[in-house]
Amino acid sequence: MIPLEASLAARVRVVLLDVDGVMTDGGLYFSESGGTAADGRRFHVHDGMAIHMLRRAGIPAAVVSGKLSLPARRRAEELRITEVHQVSPFGKLEAVEGILGRLGAGWDEAAFLADDLADLPVLREVGLPAAVANAVPEVRQAAAWVGAKPGGAGAVREFVEALLSARGEWETLVQQYVAECVEHWRAGAGD
């Protein structure tokens, strides 16, 4: 795991995620008939658990995308992400400003995992700018942390694990999660 600076991780109160190229591999699936353009996406199951762990740590995730597909909306809904925003590249700063306002958080308390040029304006404002392994050079350069995994291959999981590990919370969260699963099973079995 690529370590994340503890001082940067400690102040994070919200994790902002781009979709295409971060939660997905950037591939756009065009079907032969019907539907709107680019109507298919592939997500990594490991990223779902990462969002769950973030919630357990009391850190909400928010989605800010320049091209929010129906599959992306469905995925966000499944992961119980309530802040889901589709904006043009020119509207990303404004969208994030709104999210931070509703959460009562400052720019320095936001992390953003990004991959492409449209993310740069927000990346330059947040306290913890982060990039997936295959982000474009400009984004990698602007990031305080660059992962080893490309978008769609568990990059969100890698970032969240680095973030929560740097805060000293990851191991405890995993132990609590496993303990709760066992407790649930025992309660159900009537032991």
By CB under 5 A, name the binding residues for Mg ion.
18, 20-21, 115-116
47 or 115: whose CB is closer to Mg ion? 115
Burial of 152 (0-12, 13-18, 19+ CB in 10 A): buried
Please state the closest distance from residue 41 (CB atom) to Mg ion, in A: 12
How far is Cα 102 from Cα 96, in angstroms, rounded to an integer?
Answer: 10
Q: What residue type is 32 in one-letter code?
A: E
115 or 169: whose CB is closer to Mg ion? 115
Please state the closest distance from residue 98 (CB atom) to Mg ion, in A: 20
20 or 161: whose CB is closer to Mg ion? 20
Distances (CA, A) of 134 to 37, 50, 101: 24, 20, 31
- Nearest residue to Mg ion by CB is 21
123 or 160: whose CB is closer to Mg ion? 123
Please state the closest distance from residue 21 (CB atom) to Mg ion, in A: 4
Find the DSSP H helices in 124-169: 137-142, 155-166
> Which residues, listed in sequence order, are joined to residue 33 by a DSSP beta bridge?
none
Please state the closest distance from residue 182 (CB atom) to Mg ion, in A: 39
